[in-house]
Structure 1
Amino acid sequence: MRGVSIFALGFALLAPAAASGETLAGALARAYELNPTLNSARAGQRANDENVPRALSQFRPSVRTDAFLGVERRRSVQKSFEYDNGNRLEPLWVESIQNNRGGPPRSAVLSVEQPLFDGFRTKNSALAAQSNVHAGRERLRLIEQRLLFEAVSVYMNVSRDTAALRLQQNHVAVLEEQLRQTKERYAAGEITPTDIAQAEARLSAGRSQAAMARAELDASLARYAQVTGVEARRLAPGEPVDRLLPKTREAAERVALTEHPVVRAAQHDAEAADLDIRVIESDFLPSLSMVGKVYTESDIDGRGNRALGAQLLGKLSVPIYSGGGTSARLRQAKETAGQKKFDVDAARAELMALIRANWGGLQAAKAQIGAASAQIAAAERALAGVREEAKAGKRTTLEILNAQQELLGARLALVVAQRDRVVASYAVLAAMGRLSAQQLGLSVAAYDASAHFEAVKDSWGGIETPGGR
């Protein structure tokens, strides 16, 4: 029960609006559905899916037709000789112009080519494309995690800044009352004008701090609308997600190494890089295909003749030498594959550091809540004591003002600590790779990145997307 009361204390000022206000889960669901950055990433992944049917198309038949239509007119000059009594006279040049007899020359060809062997290029290209699709899904999951965490942060920032503004406004009201009492005591001859000046200075500072708190809240509200797509209204206090976290940091690390999208994406990238090597190796192998043609020709020779024919050919291509370019690409692909394997190790190391930092931040936030709560209790007792002693003339106005400022600082510290406590729990969940709509149980239809892939992976044609575009 003590933990619950401490948690509620930080945002007690928000309680009247919480009954019918927005919840953290509702804000996360809205961001998951409406955020344009996330929707853009989903569209990019759908485009990435199309690389698989593109790769498979390399081993499918290609059909094309070509038609030709033209005009032809021939002009010829012939050399002839005349004889007189057996004697050849000077040659004569005879010019003639001939038009096509059967009309304009025309032809049409229908050709079909079917690959039979391509050095396993298509197979490995398709597998590499699938690995890239899986890597893209993990990157999409990472973007989803970042968005949900950002939504948690902006939600808690608005809650924190709203509570901070109310505390600052209440503090200004207290300082105004303190100034009024100070003037009454001065009129009674109990204190000097210096006490009034001190109270006025502290009131001016309080009003300045309240104005700064308003500006910070406005900035948080703008960021909230950007992330969630709606304006923030009556936010209910956010709760940590300790129920989804393991008991120990070591357990969180084990989950992260197997489930975090950064590690999974790096592993799929390494798989794709290995397959890219095999794709380039196919350039050293022969390729075989069958080519069939059906053609018709009319008046190609200008004499009105027609022809109809068909061909069935086997096409064998054997690479011999490419100037060293293919070898360079192969060496480059091997180095890239080695780089991707190092990237997996780097991702794991980075993830371990992130888990430890976030786990430590969570423990620190828990401790800060208890410390801030104790600080508030002590500051309240101190302020009450200073006020009583001031009535007896044992404390000055400045000491009262300082005690009030210390109490305000303690209350603000609790608000900040409570915000950090909630955000830190989500940070650990994100570092584990489990910050998702499904894990949080959000009331929203989870986006299935595999549905589009299944719809297009074996496509043989069609220009309309599964979504109707």
Structure 2
Amino acid sequence: MVSIVRKAALWAAVSTNVLLAPHAVLAETIFGAMAKAYANNPDLNAARAGLRATDEGVPIAKAGYRPQISASASGTLSRVDAERTGSRDVHAGQVGISITQTIFDGFQTLNNVRAAESDVFSSREALKAKEIQILLSAAQSYANIARDQQIVSIRRQNLAFVREQLNAAQARLDVGEGTPTDVSQAEAQLAKAQSLLVIAVGQLKQSEAVYVKIVGMAPRGITEAGPAKRGMPRSLDQAVATGLRENPQILAAQYAVDQAGFQVKSAEGTMLPGVELQGAVTRKTGNSGPGLDSTTASITARLEVPIYQGGAEYGQIRQTKEVLGKQRILVDSARASVQEKVVAAHAQLESARAQIQASRAQVSAVNLALQGVIEERNVGQRTTLDVLDALQGVLDAQELLARAQRDAVVASYALLAAMGKLTVQTQGLQVAGYRLEEHYQAVKDKWFGLRTVGGR
């Protein structure tokens, strides 16, 4: 009987501290997981490649400022049959080069460049939003594993304790102090405990698979993480204000409005006059007659005034204006979405904190109750079923605490994400930040070249 009481005391001690997964020699922290996800996540790397492709829109738009140069060459060989002179071959050739420079195009190129630059700025903010999403996913998957490890540990302790109860019930039955019912109840509870452990192990494996997908490496030495501290707001109002000011989803939508506005101006430019200069040099050679070899140089100025182009220009202008209106509405939608996420994450964090306090008190109470029920059972005032019922209460309370601790961690990082504060810089992650402007600076004024900045 004494061994059973000692088991209950051990269960109470384990419920507070020892239930965490054992620390590995090289334990991973939640910040390390986020840093690895930032460096390795394929979705994030794909988004960076997408931004580099968007950067190329600026030199493409700037092509409207630059001359267009072309060269041409042609040759003709003919056979002439004359009655008096007989047959002879006649050849003629021509080579030339022309340069065309747009002088004025109704400010279309200017607005196309500005629209492309706004697209780059919007894509940068979209990439920042993607980075925040990946960091949040890494933190969530880390917290899920920590929770699942605790639950596996809890259920293993539960299984050992139930097995001890079965042995005790069998021992009492052997000496005539117990009943077969006590043994059957303990056997049923043991089967249930084994099933719960299998389920917990399966859930842990699923969480580990998600972790590998996001972080790019297998989890090692996951330990319980506390809620985020860096960048946390002092109040809900401050959190909302920061989110509306710094969340990259809102900033991306605002840049999209700028882009749409420049596209409207570019479409309107199709109705303005256009001026271009063209210079050409042509060299002709041949043997069909004297003076055929010649060189011609010319400069041509061309003014084009659009009058009516089938109505397409009007439709394009109206279309771009509707797109501009849509983008302005999307800014309001982004603001409402960010505010909703901030408020929801803040509420979840407050709820999880309260749940942790309540669960800790509950764990302490049910453990004391379990010890009391065991002692009463030992003196014949309680049955084995009473002990098993009390044990179930301990199990439920401890798992509830593990889940509440996970919810607090996830909610805190979700709040930072909604505010736009879950970044490499604010969290001090030990990883080199991706330089958004490096590729853009390398290509924005590039005139020619087939290879990318990366050498492909």
TM-score (norm 1): 0.91
| Equivalent residues in 2 for 1:295-444, closer than 5 Å | 295-299=282-286, 305-444=292-431
1:308-367, Cα deviation, whole Å (9 max, x unpaired):
111111121211111111101101111111111111111111111111111000000100
**Partner SS state of residue 448, structure 2:** coil
> Which stretch shows the higher mean deviation, 297-306 or 345-354?
297-306
2:67 to 61, 71, 78: 61
Please report how far the alpha carbon of residue 304 of structure 1 lies from its aligned counterpart in structure 2 after TM superposition. 8.7
The 3-state SS of whatever aligns with 2:221 is: coil
> 1:73 touches 1:99 (CA, 8 Å); kept in 2?
yes
Check conservation: 2:21, 2:150, Cα contact below 8 A. Answer: no
Contact 2:24/2:220 (8 A) holds in 1: no
- 1:247-282 deviations in Å (ceiling 9; x for gaps): 110000110111001110110111111110000011
2:378 alignment partner AA: K
- State how 1:40-51 maps to structure 2 within 5 Å: 40-51=46-57
Q: Is 161-170 or 125-134 further displaced after alignment?
A: 161-170
Structure-2 separation of matches of 1:73 and 1:44: 58
How large is the Cα RMSD of the aligned pairs?
1.9
2:218 aligned residue (231, 246, 260): 231
Are 1:204 and 2:191 counterparts? Answer: yes
1:164-313 alignment runs, 5 A limit:
164-299=151-286, 305-313=292-300
CA distance in 2, matches of 1:213, 1:12: 18
- Tell me by how many angstroms 1:148 deviates: 0.2
Change (3 A) 1:312 1:406: same
Could you say what secondary structure the match of 1:72 adopts? strand
What corresponds to 2:9 in structure 1?
none
User: Is contact 1:134-1:265 (8 Å) kept?
Assistant: yes
Name which of structure 1's ranges 235-244 and 180-189 shifts more when overlaid on structure 2: 235-244
Question: SS at 2:19's partner residue?
Answer: helix
Structure 2 counterpart SS, 1:71: strand
Helix, strand or coil at the partner of 1:343: helix
Q: Which amino acid aligns with 1:166?
A: S
Q: Distance in 2 between matches of 1:98 and 1:303?
A: 19
Please name the residue that 1:137 is paired with. Answer: 124
Contact 1:110 1:293 in 2 (8 A): yes
5+ residue gaps, structure 1, are 1-7, 77-93
Q: Decide whether the 8 Å contact of 2:21 with 2:222 is kept in 1.
A: no
The 1:9/1:282 distance shift into structure 2, 3 A limit, reads farther
Identify if the C-alpha distance between structure 1 residues 313 and 183 changes in structure 2 by more than 3 Å, giving closer, same or farther.
same
Identify if the C-alpha distance between structure 1 residues 320 and 385 changes in structure 2 by more than 3 Å, giving closer, same or farther.
same
Question: Does residue 74 of structure 2 align to residue 111 of structure 1?
Answer: no
Letter of the aligned partner of 1:100 in structure 2? D
Contact kept? 1:294, 1:309, Cα under 8 Å: yes
Counterpart-to-counterpart distance in 1, 2:233 and 2:23: 33
Residue in structure 2 matched with residue 29 of structure 1 by the alignment: 35
Are positions 1:147 and 2:134 aligned together?
A: yes
Question: What is the CA distance between 1:301 and its match in structure 2?
Answer: 5.3
For residues 329 and 445 of structure 1, what CA distance do their matches in structure 2 show? 44
For the 8 Å contact 1:100–1:302, the answer to whether it is kept is: no
Residues 265 and 360 of structure 1: is their aligned pair in 2 closer, same or farther, counting only changes over 3 Å?
Answer: same
Q: Structure 1's 227 and 311: CA in aligned 2 closer, same or farther, altered over 3 A?
A: same
Consecutive unaligned residues of structure 2, counting only runs of 5 or more, are 1-13
- The C-alpha deviation readout for 1:409-436, integer Å capped at 9, x for no partner, is 1111111111111111100000101111
| Whole-Å separation in 2 of the counterparts to 1:180 and 1:388 | 16
Q: List per-residue Cα deviations over 1:27-82 (Å, max 9, x = no partner).
A: 11111111111111001101100101110111111111111134323468xxxxxx
Deviation at 1:11, TM superposition (A): 6.4
In 1, the alpha carbon distance for the partners of 2:115 and 2:344 equals 35
SS of residue paired to 2:302: strand
Q: Which residue of 1 aligns with 2:45?
A: 39
Deviation at 1:453, TM superposition (A): 0.9
Q: Partner amino acid for 2:28?
A: E
**Percentage identity across paired residues of the two chains:** 39
Offset of 1:392 from its aligned partner? 1.8
Partner secondary structure for residue 237 of structure 2: helix
Q: Which residue does the alignment assign to 1:99?
A: 88
1:232 aligns to what SS in structure 2? coil
CA contact (8 A) 1:298 1:305 kept: yes
SS of equivalent residue, structure 2 residue 253:
helix
CA distance in 1, matches of 2:333, 2:27: 43
1:273-299 Cα offsets, whole Å, 9 max, x none, are: 111000001100111111001111222
Choose 208-217 or 181-190, whichever is displaced more: 181-190
User: Contact 2:145/2:207 (CA < 8 Å) preserved in 1?
Assistant: yes
CA displacement at 1:174 relative to structure 2:
0.8
Of stretches 46-55 and 181-190 in structure 1, the one that deviates more from structure 2 is 181-190
Residues 260, 327 of structure 2: 8 Å contact kept: yes
Asked if structure 1 preserves the Cα contact closer than 8 Å seen for 2:21 and 2:149, the reply is no
Determine the C-alpha separation between the residues in 2 that align with 1:99 and 1:378.
117
Residue type at the aligned position of 2:329:
F
Q: Which residue of 2 aligns with 1:13?
A: 19
Determine if contact 1:292/1:312 at 8 Å carries over to the other structure: yes
Determine if contact 1:298/1:304 at 8 Å carries over to the other structure: no
Distance 2:327 2:155 in 1: 53
1:68 alignment partner, SS class: strand
Contact 2:15 2:363 in 1 (8 A): no
